[in-house]
Amino acid sequence: MGKALDGVRILDFTHVQSGPTCTQLLAWFGADVIKVERVGAGDITREQLRDIPDADSLYFTMLNGNKRSVTLDTKNPHGKRVLERMIRDCDVLVENFAPGALERMGFGWERIQTLNPRMIVASVKGFGPGPYEDCKVYENVAQCVGGAASTTGFDDGPPVVTGAQIGDSGTGLHLALGIVTALFQREHTGRGQKVLAAMQDGVLNLCRVKLRDQQRLDRTGVMKEYPQYPNDDFGDAVPRAGNASGGGQPGWILKCKGWETDPNAYIYFIAQAPVWERICKLIGREEWIGDPRYATPNSRLPHLKEIFAEIERWTMNRTKFDAMAVLNRYDIPCGPILSMKEIASDESLRTSGTIVEVEHPVRGKYLTVGNPIKLSDSPTEVTRSPLLGEHTDEVLAEFGYSNDEIRSLRVAGAI
Ligand code: COA
């Protein structure tokens, strides 16, 4: 079966996490992703957080599957000429260098446009235009400047960064959408364009509910679904809300059987309004159904702590999986806190292709994520990450280089 992005050729200058997540996604959709790496070194993550000596790290292998690897010294004059040819024949150049690096290499937007007016040049940067546009940025910095850290954690503790890589992988997703949108527009205009996804912007986009809350707070001084209500002060900026639900249905994390020894014996419980009567019956508090203090979502808001404490008395007597099974029978929204160990061995995630085991020639079998977006006409087959420069000769031959030319490029240190 064909793939959605068959025929799209991507020059992948990405490294570390944000850019590679973008190009990996495009490769899963069928694009030919040619990862261009520094000669003899490659993407720095190949050697970071290694668990097996001399084998590409999981950091690298889990972000670069389905790609081909080419080594090319883009600062070498021969290497620059190779790059020119590749730019002429590719559809998209993706990069997440520090600001200005592409220009210092001699391949700014104007030059690329001269070489190939159809080329889409897509970049991840830490910040968009403004006072910080020249700064280097990593994941946690993006979480801090995008509003996630100040709104994550508990009120009596410091700001907290989340394990979900919303700055890197989140921005990679945004960039991928920008690229396919630009490819779509090129169908009509015949022209390439610049695509920019700034990490601060991406995090803020994912945190928009907190910008919503800032405006609510400015107007009313209170947010009744936050744990600060009704007894604590709110201050003038959106406070950290612990595990309170970000939406209109109150939720909290509750202890389950075994919580004393298992750090993940918890369940997220949503006291959704349409199933309130069922919740009351299940936990043995039928009297709350007719009690005006609990009868409506608004009347319950000042009592949320007491309500969740009462529900927790019920969940604490069941494992998180038993609780989930019973609650789902009553259509009560909930979710067990799954550890990475539990997720790694989850059979249904393997069956759906969301977790995939692949074979690597140096490290052996490893687990990686599959495509989280499933297209019925463009199924994803996850393949292992490439070794450094594994496809240099193959790719250069496709771009018209003879074996002799490839040999002299190697002698010149360009590949
Ligand atoms: N051949 C020759 N030189 C190459 C090359 C190649 N194939 N590939 C990269 N380089 C050079 C670049 O031209 C650059 O050189 P210069 O500084 O002399 O211009 C150099 O390698 C390093 O690039 P840089 O991006 O500055 O790497 P860094 O390790 O100093 O910074 C980041 C890393 C992630 C902080 C930075 O790239 C960045 O801020 N990126 C944008 C935001 C981002 O994506 N952050 C998240 C990362 S997960």
CA distance 150 to 217: 15
Place 404 in a pLDDT band, splitting at 50, 70 and 90: very high
Catalytic residue numbers read 168
Which pTM value belongs to this model? 0.95
DSSP class per residue in 246-292: SSSS-EEEEE-TTTTT-TT-EEEEE--GGGHHHHHHHTT-THHHH-T
**Distance from residue 101's CA to the centre of ligand 1 (Å):** 7
Residue nearest to atom 6 of ligand 1 (CA): 38
Residue nearest to atom 33 of ligand 1 (CA): 98
Among 73, 136, 145, name the best residue to mutate to test ligand 1's pocket (greatest count of ligand atoms within 8 A of Cβ).
Answer: 136
Alpha-carbon distance values, 318 to 254, 255, 259, 364 (Å): 11, 9, 10, 39
For residue 76, give the nearest of 412, 411, 392 by alpha carbon: 412
Residue nearest to atom 38 of ligand 1 (CA): 98
Percent of the chain with pLDDT over 90: 98
| pLDDT score for 362 | 97
Q: Is the per-residue pLDDT at 251 higher than 80?
A: yes
Chain Cα centroid distance, residue 382? 18
What is the mean pLDDT of the segment spanning 44-63? Answer: 97
CA distance 287 to 21: 52
Place 20 in a pLDDT band, splitting at 50, 70 and 90: very high
| pLDDT score for 264 | 98
For residue 59, give the nearest of 29, 93, 20 by alpha carbon: 20
Q: Is the per-residue pLDDT at 248 higher than 90?
A: no
CA distance 278 to 154: 30
Percent of the chain with pLDDT over 70: 100
Ligand 1 atom closest to the CA of 101, numbered from 1: 19
| pLDDT score for 141 | 98
Q: Is the per-residue pLDDT at 247 higher than 90?
A: no
Place 246 in a pLDDT band, splitting at 50, 70 and 90: confident
Number of residues assigned to the chain: 415
Residue 158's region, left for phi above 0, alpha for psi from -120 to 50, else beta, is: beta
Q: What is the pLDDT of residues 185-227, one digit of tens each?
A: 999 999 999 999 999 999 999 999 999 999 999 999 999 999 9
**Distance from residue 98's CA to the centre of ligand 1 (Å):** 5
Report helix angle 199-206 to 169-189, nearest 10.
Answer: 100
CA distance 209 to 212: 5
CA distance 356 to 321: 24
Minimum mean pLDDT among 145-149, 243-247, 289-293: which range?
243-247
Pocket of ligand 1 (CB under 6 A): 16-19, 36, 38, 72-75, 96-98, 101, 104-105, 124-126, 136-138, 168
**Distance from residue 102's CA to the centre of ligand 1 (Å):** 9
Minimum mean pLDDT among 148-162, 224-238, 335-349: which range?
224-238
- φ/ψ of residue 211, rounded to 5: -70, -35
CA distance 87 to 318: 60
**Distance from residue 100's CA to the centre of ligand 1 (Å):** 9
What is the mean pLDDT of the segment spanning 100-123? Answer: 96
For residue 4, give the nearest of 413, 410, 394, 376 by alpha carbon: 376
| pLDDT score for 1 | 72
Q: Strands, DSSP E only, in 114-176?
A: 120-125
